[in-house]
Structure 1
Amino acid sequence: MESVPTIRVHIEKFMREKNLKLQHFSDITGINVGTLSAILKGSRPMSMNQLNQITSVMGLEKGYFYESYGVESFIESSPHWRRLEPYLYECAELCKLDCIQQVITHVTDDRSYIEELFDVAESFFARGLKEAALILYECVADSEKYQHSERLALCQYRIFLLQKTLSKYDNLNAAVKFESYIDKLNEEVQLDAIKDLANVYNTIHLWDKVDAWARELERKAEFQLKIQSRRRKSNKRRLTAYPLFTYVAYANLLISSVYDARKEYENVLKYIEKYLEIVEVENPTQEDQQIIDLFLIWGEGNQYASQLMLGQENVINSYLDYIENNPSEILAGLINILQASNQYSFNIDYALDRFKDQINLFNTDMYIKGSYNDQMLNHVYQDFYYELANYQMKQRNYSLGMDALLMCLDLSSSSKDDLMCIKCLDLYGEYRSEAAETQIRKYKKLIEKLSLPTF
């Protein structure tokens, strides 16, 4: 097996080719000549800063030697945290994930640096270095899988957050795996974890799960509020992402969404009133007020939507004014209006015309996401384009309807949402005779991607 040249061999070769003496190389790298001599003799380890200085002088891109450095410093030699920590940060910043994986797999064998690695993972997570953080969390979790510790539970929570994809089945698997760890988290952290878990179930329409976790969230949040009321003078740092009343209100919002899915609109209105009462906070802070304003906006919009789904066509204009004044609610509002129009045969051409410019921005980087993350947004787009397709077909605007339907099929196939794909196929089958040649070709391409039979 051919041996791989060490970093020291590369440096010595560079010095020979450039005819550089040790003192001159010391001057241009800014590394003390004695230190440099010891590094080249192999009697002194090289720091990350020194490696970067030498790499730059050699005219190589930063990180060129990181793989070799990882092997020489942490696999072939005993690892030292003083060198390992900066190495992980440098690799993360340059997205050299293979280097991190290689070194961490070796380092976690003896569990020497589990606590330190967890702290670095948390730092990566806070900085948005998600892929690097995921590697560390998975290694720490694997090392602690029999410990049943809070740290293991927190690792699993972070892994759950980082592994969410556009695929409903990936998210379902991640959610089911994470559920058993929630009770091991800090009681305050549990509130955010349950909220995030319920949001995933909400996205994939598992309404019984949403209902169960929403009620658990309400119970736990109310308990924490009681504890907080007894500690009004406590300076204890808050561990939740939001003030505690937020979670009680949000739990009721989730419950209202369950009743909405079940078409029990009177109950929806009941729970809307409930969370609007919860956010009536005395002497709110600036943070409290921002959250209160958000719930007031949601509450008003959800009231219009529920009234509309009860067949009250007279609220449409007020609803349109509302979403125009709250641009982040336009997408959800139009979906609700389309659903009601499809159910009650309302003509809403004027509403679609009023928001045509905003609709043209949907599914582009210029659209205002509001409170949606990418995964949620994908599913909401699917709902919009499906309802739009259904409406336009009923209005005999077949070309517009078919375009919307194909957009929905494209989005649902990308996220592997089989239920929506089937709904699209059924609707296409009903109106396939109205499809233009270009639309037929596009449909066949999408079907090939799905590996399903054409109609």
Structure 2
Amino acid sequence: MESMNAIRSEIKDHLLSSGYTLTSFGHLSGMNRGSLSAILHGSPPKPIAIRQLDIITETLGYPEGWFYHLYLDECFAGGKVSRRRLEPYLLRCAELGKRDCIDAAISRLLETAKPLALLFEIGEKLYHQGKIKESALFYEAVAEMEKDSHSERLAISHYRLFMAHQGPDAEQNWRAVIRFEPFRRRLPENYQLDAILKLANVCFTLHKWREVEKYADELRALAQAVYREQLQRKVREREPQVLGTERHLVVYYGQGYLLKTIALQKQELYDKAKKYVTGYADLSWFEDLNEIGWMEVKKFRLWAQANAYTLEMLTGNISILPEYCSFLLEHPGEILPGMLTIIESANKYGFYADDIIEQIFQVIYDFNEQDPIEVDRHFSLRYELAVYQFRKNQYAEGISSTLFALRLALILNNDWDVIQCITLFEAYRAYASEQHKSEYQYMMEELRNKEKNNPFSTRRFRIV
């Protein structure tokens, strides 16, 4: 009881120092005087709802969450957990970033019986409200304390943590993949489809092509199995099952083929890659396609066209270049990967395509530096462009493109990309202007500082 009175004593002291009576404060805050009296002077005192505490705080003119460090005892009064008070309290703490309060609450909760269900449910509420980072604290507690390694709750918690830790940092993303990967097949089927697709996409940004290929195979097999099950269920019950996935089932089926194509292409297994393009070129046979499903089918048809051109270019069929250029200009969404294909092919087979490159390059849009796939594509484009420009003895332009690529490599925190840019710059350092050297030096200092501030870094190189 004494601990419960701490928050009341604090509130009463603030009311007194501000010159409020219960009546005047009730009028100003909109709270009933009787309720205030029961909260502050009742015997036993009436519990304080988190909404009431927020009103009191706001009326007193203090920042949100001012009294939160004292509220926890309200949630554990009499040695019992009051879910009615604890849940809204934790949700508000997450909204306000009160990490210390959340840690204290989790610590107290873990001393009670069956705490994981509540922690998981709060994590789920925050996650579905779009508060991904805030939810991670609760999933971490579940992941650490769950004893059943095959628990569905544990697998979903690891999946949510995998999602929460995604960003432009390559090292962080790879650690998230390694941590989550063993739990992917313990998820419910609908979660598995989304999880495997996301694993493949993360590995795509990391250039882990064999892993992309592995997840593409898994995704294709699972999507085919779910599709067969859907058809059988439709025969039995005359209606398809509601899957509860983020995307239409056709997306997972098509992505299984698309990602396989790209993974093989990146390993220069072009003939094998061509065989998989047909797997997503025409998915109109897919049953139960709604409006969204048909839109996805059209996207896959377009991507199949684009990748067919890509594979022809990369195998040296330069004769299709004018046709490919027209295709890209008709489909602006394909310009970025298409531009990369053209310049990569030019470097690979030693030809020049200045007019086409200049024409298409002007259409390339700005990109979101928080989207790893976009950043990675722009990195590859700028790096290949630098190589192309050096081939043409356009040294100033090549140095500028190299530095642009290096900045993107630092955003991605990808060791190999950084090394490529450094070695390319050093090979042509003699042609760098003083401004170029200054910009390069600044980025090297930034890299050194990052190394110094991360003594446990797993980088395989050091800048001296």
Listed one character per residue, the Cα deviations across residues 406-438 of structure 1 (whole Å, up to 9, x for unaligned) are: 111122133321111121122122211111111
Q: Secondary structure at the match of 1:87?
A: helix
Taking the TM superposition and a 5 Å limit, the aligned residue runs for 1:205-354 are: 205-232=207-234, 233-234=238-239, 236-281=241-286, 284-354=289-359
2:174 counterpart residue number:
172
Equivalent in 95, 104, 107 of residue 105 of structure 1: 107
CA distance in 1, matches of 2:56, 2:63: 11
CA distance in 1, matches of 2:14, 2:89: 24
2:4 touches 2:73 (CA, 8 Å); kept in 1? no
Q: Is 2:403 aligned against 1:403? A: no
Deviation at 1:111, TM superposition (A): 4.8
Distance change in 2, residues 1:274/1:147 (3 Å): closer
1:7 counterpart residue number:
7
Unaligned 5+ segments in structure 2 are: 449-461
Deviation at 1:85, TM superposition (A): 1.6
Deviation at 1:11, TM superposition (A): 2.5
Runs of 4 or more off by more than 6 Å in structure 1?
A: none
1:221 touches 1:244 (CA, 8 Å); kept in 2? yes
CA distance in 2, matches of 1:277, 1:75: 63
In the alignment, residue 49 of structure 1 is paired with which amino acid?
Answer: R
CA distance in 2, matches of 1:439, 1:276: 45
Q: Is 2:366 aligned against 1:362? A: yes
TM-score by length of 2: 0.88
Distance change in 2, residues 1:10/1:325 (3 Å): farther
Deviation at 1:310, TM superposition (A): 1.7
CA distance in 2, matches of 1:124, 1:326: 38
Q: Is 2:388 aligned against 1:391? A: yes
In the alignment, residue 31 of structure 1 is paired with which amino acid?
Answer: M
1:161 counterpart residue number:
163
Deviation at 1:237, TM superposition (A): 2.8
1:194 counterpart residue number:
196
1:74 touches 1:103 (CA, 8 Å); kept in 2? no
1:440 counterpart residue number:
437
Equivalent in 356, 364, 377 of residue 374 of structure 2: 377
Equivalent in 125, 128, 140 of residue 126 of structure 1: 128
Deviation at 1:129, TM superposition (A): 0.5
Distance change in 2, residues 1:19/1:428 (3 Å): closer
Deviation at 1:383, TM superposition (A): 0.8
CA distance in 2, matches of 1:279, 1:109: 56
Deviation at 1:302, TM superposition (A): 0.9
Deviation at 1:222, TM superposition (A): 1.1
Unaligned 5+ segments in structure 1 are: 366-372
CA distance in 2, matches of 1:78, 1:52: 23
Which moved further from structure 2: 233-242 or 135-144? 233-242
Q: Is 2:27 aligned against 1:32? A: no
1:201 touches 1:207 (CA, 8 Å); kept in 2? yes
Listed one character per residue, the Cα deviations across residues 134-193 of structure 1 (whole Å, up to 9, x for unaligned) are: 111111222214352111101111111111233323222221221211221112321211
1:108 touches 1:140 (CA, 8 Å); kept in 2? no
1:93 counterpart residue number:
95
CA distance in 2, matches of 1:74, 1:355: 64
Deviation at 1:83, TM superposition (A): 0.8
CA distance in 1, matches of 2:37, 2:463: 70
CA distance in 2, matches of 1:79, 1:300: 60
Deviation at 1:5, TM superposition (A): 10
Which moved further from structure 2: 251-260 or 143-152? 143-152
Distance change in 2, residues 1:4/1:47 (3 Å): closer
Which moved further from structure 2: 123-132 or 278-287? 278-287
In the alignment, residue 437 of structure 2 is paired with which amino acid?
Answer: I
> What is the RMSD computed on CA atoms of the aligned residues?
2.5
Deviation at 1:17, TM superposition (A): 3.1
Distance change in 2, residues 1:349/1:364 (3 Å): farther
Listed one character per residue, the Cα deviations across residues 113-142 of structure 1 (whole Å, up to 9, x for unaligned) are: 422332221221122101111111111222
1:415 counterpart residue number:
412
Which moved further from structure 2: 398-407 or 440-449? 440-449
Which moved further from structure 2: 200-209 or 154-163? 200-209
1:28 touches 1:57 (CA, 8 Å); kept in 2? yes
Distance change in 2, residues 1:7/1:352 (3 Å): farther
2:57 counterpart residue number:
55
Deviation at 1:254, TM superposition (A): 1.2
Listed one character per residue, the Cα deviations across residues 207-239 of structure 1 (whole Å, up to 9, x for unaligned) are: 222222211222222111111111112464312
Deviation at 1:357, TM superposition (A): 4.0
Deviation at 1:318, TM superposition (A): 2.8
CA distance in 1, matches of 2:113, 2:396: 62
TM-score by length of 1: 0.90
Q: Secondary structure at the match of 1:110?
A: coil
2:23 counterpart residue number:
23
In the alignment, residue 446 of structure 1 is paired with which amino acid?
Answer: M
1:248 touches 1:278 (CA, 8 Å); kept in 2? no
2:41 counterpart residue number:
41
CA distance in 1, matches of 2:182, 2:393: 50
